[in-house]
Every structure is written in structure tokens, then in C-alpha cells.
């Protein structure tokens, strides 16, 4: 099973790139589902087909096994979240919380996007697909979307702890009612399922053998720096980019004369300079070029032609293997020696050129890169240590830990 997530700025052609990739995979004999998680839902326009929340085969004769659908987040909220939210409102009201306050407390930030991701996970687990291709929203929205499972998992744990019986006991003491405890029992079971889904989403996104991201862009001056920031933000959250699609390259004007030829030549030179810079941004991430065509690729045959341009004879699933975000190595001492030293290495693309801030918060290391924060859970041995130093070199942030005498093992 593979999951390919396509993202990029609005209007750069990410939807057509995602659709073309799905066509190429189906042409290769794979059973493919391409999902639109973009609120604009232009995937149906690319296929020239009417799509809704139910997967349909878009070209059963020419490309059997190619299915597409739009993720209906509103319906997902109504079916999955609203019943649980109603249970929680009833419990909070029973505990003496004002009705309006209870309503505000049960608003889960980003629930629509979260359920969209859960729909993707469910397709990978329950569906017959070999590959799920996702047309995500614009880059900024996608970064927030992909960070949601971890952020909401932490939010949920703080708001409704995992120790279900302890929470039931608190409610029983507050309300003194077995009926209230029974209601909480039902809600807690639902919350446990939500927590499991969040954990499943985190595992799916962090598995670089299964889930990878493709960035689609147009080669413009501001793009290279923005792409580096995007790669860094994704790497900070443990997500792996295995391909970049540079779309809409103007043709080579050759030795043509006149204002139009001069403009095309200057534009192409500017694009080539951007592409040269991009080749060094993502390390071994391949940059695939797509020329600017006069017409929009609409329909499966036009998308198949576009796929040929993007991938040629390559397998669309091929790409560099991702590295783990965190690695821990011992650099001093043995066993439980008090002079032990450990180094936690964070492998984040582009971190060497970014503004970085570190903070130890309990059993987590809060890493902020260019304004984006990630709380990294520390391995057990490092929880008994103090941060004594840090070093930043290229794409690796190395944090030094030494035993804290107050809690170190003896």
C-alpha cells in the first residue's frame, strides 16, 4: 500500500499532477483511488467527470481500476463528530457547566480536516486500493492538516485523559449519578476510538515507506526559498517529500527574433536559474519538469499524456527513501555511569539556514524552526537527563544531554 499526497500553491497545477499520476498508476495495472481533500474540489473537472463522496470508476474501459472521489467533510462531521460532541455537551452540562460554555468547550479545532485525513486512512486500511493519491489543499493548509493528528492527539489527552476509570470517578464524585457515569462511559468509548484513529493517522503519516509527499510548483523567483521552508516544515513533522513537479516551463525560443521571442527567452532563463537553485534545495529529491502547454489537460487521455511527460518510463512510485526525524547516539560513558553523554540528532531539511529555538518542556523537546513548533517526545533515557548544549550543521540539529543527578539511575 502507498499513499501519495500532492500539494502546492493554489493555481500551480497540483490537481492535474495528482490526477495524471493516478492515471499513470492505473495504466501500469495498479488499483488506484484518487481523493480530493481540497475544498475547491477541482478533481472532477480534471477528469471531466461528476464526483461525490463515493468512489467511482472514471474510465472503466480504458483504465480499469482507476477510481476517484471528493471527500465530503461536512457529511463526515455530521456523521462522526456531532454525535460525540452532543454526548460531551450533555456530560458537561450535567457537571454544572453553562450550556453556552459547554458548546464552546466541545468545538474541536480542525475537526473537518482531521476527518478528511481519517477518510484517507480508512481507504488505505479498508479499501481494495494499492495506491491512494490525495489532492490536498494549498501548501499552508496542507501543513496545518498534516500536523493535526499529533496536535489534536495531545489536546485530546490533556482534555480527556486516557485513564478512563479515573475520569469516570471524578465525574461520579461531581454528579453523584450512575446515569451520568453511564453517559460518560459511552462518550469515553467514543473518545478512545478517536484517540486510536489519531494514533493510526500519526503512524500512517510517519511511515516513509507508505506515505510520501509531492510538491507541485511553478519556477518563479520566490519559489525556491518558499520550497525550502516547506520542506523544512514537513521534515520537522516527520513527513517525507520524495518528488517535486516543476510545472509550466515556457518553451525554448531558440534563435527567434522579436519582442515575443525575447520575452520567452528571458523568462526561460529565469526559470532555469530557479530550477538550478531548486536542485540544491531538496538534496536527492528529484525535480520533474513539465512544459507549459497551450491547452489544459482535461479528461483521462489528456492526463495520460501529461503523465508521460512527468514520469516518462519511470514508475510514479519511485523516489528517495526518507530518513527518520530523530536518532539518538551515545557519546560518553557506559551503562548508568554518571558521566554518560547522549546526543539527539534531528534530521530536518534546510534547518541549517533557518531560525531555530529549543526549549525543554517536561518529557518533550520543543523545537521551533522559522516560527513552526514541534514537540518531540524524548526517549526514556533522555528524560532523566539535562540539555547541556546544541550544535547546528547543515540539515542536522544535534542536542547534547547529560544525566540529571536528581533523577539519574543509580
Secondary structure in 3-state letters for 42-105: CHHHHHCCCCCCCCEECCCCCCCCEEEEECCHHHHHHHHHHHHHHHHHHHHHHCCCCHHHHHHH
How many CB atoms within 10 Å of residue 39? 14
273 Cβ contact partners less than 8 Å away, ≥ 6 residues apart: none
The set of cell numbers assigned to 191 is 473518545
- DSSP element (H, E) containing 319: none
Instruction: State the pLDDT at residue 257.
Output: 81
Residue 108: which of 135, 81, 78, 74 has the closest Cα?
A: 81
Q: How far apart are CA 206 and CA 186, in angstroms?
A: 31
Judge contact between 290 and 239, C-beta under 8 A: no
Judge contact between 367 and 346, C-beta under 8 A: yes
Residue pLDDT, tens place only, 63-73: 999 999 988 76
Q: How far apart are CA 202 and CA 120, in angstroms?
A: 12
- Burial (0-12, 13-18, 19+ Cβ within 10 Å), 368: middle
Instruction: State the pLDDT at residue 166.
Output: 47
Please provide the DSSP assignment of 245-284 as one string: EEEEEPPP-TT--SHHHHHHHHHHHHHHHHHHHHTTTSTT
3-class secondary-structure state, position 349: coil
Judge contact between 46 and 332, C-beta under 8 A: no
pLDDT < 50 positions in the chain? 164-166, 169, 172
Q: How far apart are CA 59 and CA 99, in angstroms?
A: 51
For cell 542536542, name the residue. Answer: 399
Q: How far apart are CA 209 and CA 215, in angstroms?
A: 18
Residue 13: DSSP 8-state: S
Name all domains of the chain by residue range, CATH numbers in brackets: 1-320 (3.40.50.300), 326-403 (2.60.40.790)
Instruction: State the pLDDT at residue 301.
Output: 94
Pairing verdict, β 372-377 and 32-36: unpaired
Judge contact between 26 and 34, C-beta under 8 A: no
Residue pLDDT, tens place only, 195-234: 777 778 788 888 999 999 999 999 988 887 788 888 888 8
Amino acid at each position: 500500500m502507498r499513499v501519495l499526497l500532492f500539494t502546492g500553491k493554489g493555481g500551480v497545477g497540483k490537481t492535474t499532477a495528482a490526477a495524471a499520476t493516478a492515471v499513470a498508476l492505473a495504466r501500469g495495472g495498479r488499483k488506484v483511488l484518487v481523493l480530493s481533500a481540497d475544498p475547491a474540489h477541482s478533481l472532477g473537472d480534471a477528469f471531466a467527470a461528476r464526483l461525490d463522496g463515493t468512489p467511482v470508476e472514471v474510465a472503466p474501459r480504458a483504465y480499469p481500476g482507476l477510481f476517484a472521489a471528493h471527500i465530503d467533510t461536512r457529511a463526515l462531521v455530521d456523521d462522526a463528530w456531532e454525535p460525540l460532541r452532543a454526548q460531551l455537551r450533555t456530560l458537561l452540562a450535567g457537571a454544572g457547566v453553562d450550556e453556552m460554555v459547554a458548546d464552546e468547550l466541545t468545538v474541536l479545532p480542525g475537526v473537518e480536516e482531521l476527518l478528511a485525513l481519517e477518510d484517507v486512512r480508512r481507504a488505505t486500511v479498508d479499501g481494495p486500493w494499492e495506491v491512494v493519491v490525495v489532492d490536498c489543499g494549498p501548501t499552508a493548509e496542507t501543513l496545518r492538516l498534516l500536523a493535526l493528528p499529533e496536535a489534536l492527539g495531545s489536546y485530546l489527552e490533556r482534555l480527556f485523559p486516557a485513564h478512563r476509570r479515573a475520569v469516570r470517578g471524578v465525574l461520579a464524585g461531581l454528579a453523584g449519578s450512575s446515569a451520568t457515569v453511564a453517559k460518560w462511559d459511552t462518550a469515553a468509548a467514543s473518545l478512545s476510538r478517536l484517540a486510536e484513529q489519531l494514533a493510526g493517522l500519526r503512524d500512517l503519516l510517519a511511515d516513509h515507506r507508505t506515505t510520501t509527499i509531492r510538491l507541485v510548483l511553478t519556477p518563479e523567483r520566490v519559489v525556491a526559498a518558499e520550497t525550502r521552508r516547506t520542506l523544512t516544515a514537513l521534515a520537522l513533522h516527520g513527513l517525507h517529500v520524495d518528488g517535486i513537479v516543476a510545472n509550466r516551463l515556457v518553451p525554448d525560443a531558440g534563435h527567434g527574433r522579436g519582442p515575443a521571442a525575447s520575452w520567452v527567452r528571458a523568462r526561460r532563463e529565469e526559470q532555469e536559474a530557479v530550477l538550478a537553485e531548486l536542485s540544491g534545495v531538496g538534496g536527492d529529491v528529484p525535480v520533474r519538469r513539465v512544459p507549459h502547454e497551450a491547452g489544459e489537460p482535461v479528461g483521462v487521455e489528456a492526463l495520460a499524456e501529461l503523465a508521460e511527460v512527468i514520469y516518462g518510463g519511470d514508475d510514479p512510485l519511485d523516489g528517495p527513501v526518507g530518513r527518520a526525524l530523530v536518532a539518538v547516539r551515545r557519546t560518553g560513558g557506559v551503562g548508568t555511569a554518571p558521566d554518560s553523554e547522549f546526543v539527539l540528532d534531528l534530521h530536518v531539511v534546510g534547518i541549517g539556514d533557518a531560525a531555530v529555538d529549543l526549549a525543554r518542556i517536561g518529557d518533550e523537546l520543543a523545537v521551533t524552526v522559522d516560527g513552526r513548533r514541534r514537540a518531540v517526545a524524548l526517549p526514556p533515557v533522555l528524560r532523566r537527563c539535562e540539555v547541556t548544549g546544541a550544535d547546528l550543521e547543515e540539515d542536522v540539529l544535534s542536542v547534547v544531554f547529560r544525566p540529571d543527578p536528581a533523577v539519574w539511575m543509580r
